[in-house]
Structure 1
């Protein structure tokens, strides 16, 4: 006899994305208000080494903040400082340190693990928090443009394994995200610029008006105008949140439209041993897939030229040697495997409107790469 008992339930997820400045000023109660509850929780901070180096008083500021709000939360231990960047996702040492701390300091499901750093560190700490005790509450404090406007506001966590980006990971929404714009002041020019590529991406597939704003404000963004960057981050974060709420937040299907330009970007990162940073790789991936869209007759020459020009105006390269060759094409298969099902790639049918395809012409990909190489090396127009 066959018998089936079916269970169906839903769990609502809710988390705030907050914007502030000087978070650890004792007079700023934002974090304390988020931690406030019926009981006094433990909080454990994990800090990106690069952020700690750029902000020498950060740890002492956290200690003073905790002391000022001792009636709201307590520190489980002194903050843990670990290397940031892709290193912390490639080498599982830091990941294990977070798990060890959860065990050693009695960090339970009523505690908080608070990560301060770039997107890679947030991914790693979020994964550790998600699997310890089957889920410890996690607060993200992104410190780069890329993490404040993109990766830090989402629901994905992970580390790299088997030579593949984010092979191990979870979907686990944070308890909160706090964007402190003051952290952006110490970014080097590469990290300041890198995050803008994710704004270009989401604008190209969803909002032509926002893309036009980026075009018009590219000089201000390149010159590190904080007001322009603040607007870009808030608008980009809004669009990401709208997408997560409206479609497939845990990616149960084979579609991942917010990864426009990313199939090549992820492979480029690995092929360059992460010499090319994520945002830089995304800019190249956007240029590649936009050029491919043009070659397929989807985009006009004028639209492609405008996309390429804004990428240039923001200081991005269009091409690196690893973009040419058969190995890059493996990124298509790895992209399909990551989601399962059939290959689904987002292209552009016009600025502000994406279109999904389920096959890619490898010869056209190589032609697109060749055009970007000629444009980078010889100044040729990509559309001609």
Structure 2
């Protein structure tokens, strides 16, 4: 008999988050420099994928991209710009993925070329998935255009589309080559999109950084009122904590069952699907976090004063915390999200709660009766605020 042959190796990943304003202004050489750093003295092919909401709000964007690539044509080779429907619907089927793969093939985009995606988190997820499966991995540059994508979804290593009625059922772990946050894109966001992304900042603050939570608490009204300086710090700090978790958490590709960055997400993902994705992801996450901290209070992990303090911050920023589920059947369907989350983890159920502000606490069992009571408490409190 032959003895087993064993192999072990490690691969190092490195990527950088840049911050700028007016990325495709002709006087801004950041984008050119990033490509030039990868390959000097040689033209690099670029395929752009652009969220239609961004293209419509920034009507000169496509023209500016072409002009920019023409100015730096010795390094940048613009092949095509594809405009795709934005929002969660962009990843609810493989239609857009197929269109991008077709363009990658027709434009001879190879593993030394770049797909450059400009848009919200859903479009970035979808385009990243397409890039990851083409040629077993085409290089990707992410240019997120919403608060949520700039501080959370675009700064990680995950790409995905939805399938079988489940969020992110198909996906890959594939780090981008680079991420570029352009603050200019935030100026045209609707108010609900401006606010929604702050939920992810509150998420990381609650599980990792009490000082950051205190900053968000102190600046809640400024954030609601679209204060640029407060938002830029919020995005930067949230992204920094998120990226540190990926590199220092010891599980960047989530092979284990503990996923603290999914705090509040078991119900958020289920609620998004139940509402036909009419809720923004951040809006659903805000509700999910408040539900889970209410449950944490009910099982004795946090005090009533801590719970009230957390809820006040969400409300001061402008979140509607009410769950649009009324009937027993709807409530049970929502709670089934716990089992679906366990399946997504691929093993033991691990739900991240908190034992104090800035202190994560994992549990491996949820009392459905108490979770229903927590849901009723959240809805009763949020209804009274509306009235």
Question: Which structure 1 residue ranges, 4+ long, deviate > 4 Å from structure 2?
Answer: none
1:336 is aligned, of 314, 317, 342, to: 342
Aligned-pair CA distance for 1:330: 1.1
Q: How does 1:126-165 map to 2 (within 5 A)?
A: 126-165=128-167
Q: Deviations over 1:180-231 (max 9, x none)?
A: 0010000000100000000000000000010010000000000000100000
Paired positions, count: 379
The equivalent residue for 1:42 is: 45
Matched, 1:350 2:356: yes
Query: Could you tell me whether the CA contact under 8 Å between 1:88 and 1:95 is conserved in 2?
Result: no
Q: Deviation string for 1:116-143 (max 9, x for gaps)?
A: 0000000000000000000000000000
User: Which of 238, 242, 245 is the aligned partner of 1:243?
Assistant: 245
Partner of 2:332: 326
Decide which of 178, 181, 186 is 1:179's aligned counterpart. Answer: 181
| 1:335 Cα offset (Å) | 0.8
Map of 1:30 onto structure 2: 30
1:2 Cα deviation from its structure 2 partner? 4.6
State the distance in 1 between where 2:203 and 2:310 align.
10
More moved, 311-320 vs 292-301: 311-320
Question: 1:26 Cα deviation (Å)?
Answer: 1.2
Write the distance in 2 (CA, Å) between the matches of 1:112 and 1:26.
20
- Corresponding residue SS for 1:28: coil
**Residue 18 of structure 2 corresponds to residue 18 of structure 1:** yes
The answer to whether residue 375 in structure 2 is matched with residue 369 in structure 1 is: yes
* Structure 2 alignment gaps of length 5 or more: none
Alignment of 1:301-312 (within 5 A): 301-312=304-315
The equivalent of 1:80 in structure 2 is 82
Q: CA deviation at 1:320?
A: 2.2
Query: Matched residues in 2 for 1:379 and 1:182: separation?
Result: 34
Q: Which residue of 1 aligns with 2:65?
A: 62
Superimposed CA distance per residue, residues 79-117 of structure 1 (whole angstroms, 9 cap, x where no aligned partner): 100001111100221111001001111000010000000
The SS at the match of 1:139 is strand
Structure 1, 317-326 or 94-103: larger mean CA deviation: 317-326
Cα distance in structure 1, aligned partners of 2:70 and 2:125: 28
* 1:233 partnered with 2:235: yes
2: CA distance between counterparts of 1:276 and 1:95?
23
Give 5+ residue unaligned stretches, structure 1.
none
Deviations 1:151-200 (A, max 9, x none): 00000000000000000000000000000001000000010000000000
Q: Taking structure 1 as the reference length, what is the TM-score of the superposition? A: 0.97
Deviations along 1:361-381, one digit per CA (max 9) or x if unpaired, are 00111001000111111249x
Correspondences of 1:100-115 after superposition (within 5 Å) = 100-115=102-117
Distance 1:378 1:308 in 2: 13
**2:194 equivalent among 192, 195, 201:** 192
Aligned: 1:360 with 2:360 = no
Q: Secondary structure at the match of 2:325?
A: helix
How much does 1:40 deviate?
Answer: 1.3
Q: How does 1:114-133 map to 2 (within 5 A)?
A: 114-133=116-135
Q: Deviations over 1:311-343 (max 9, x none)?
A: 111111111222761001111111111121100
Is the Cα contact below 8 Å between 1:44 and 1:76 reproduced in 2? yes
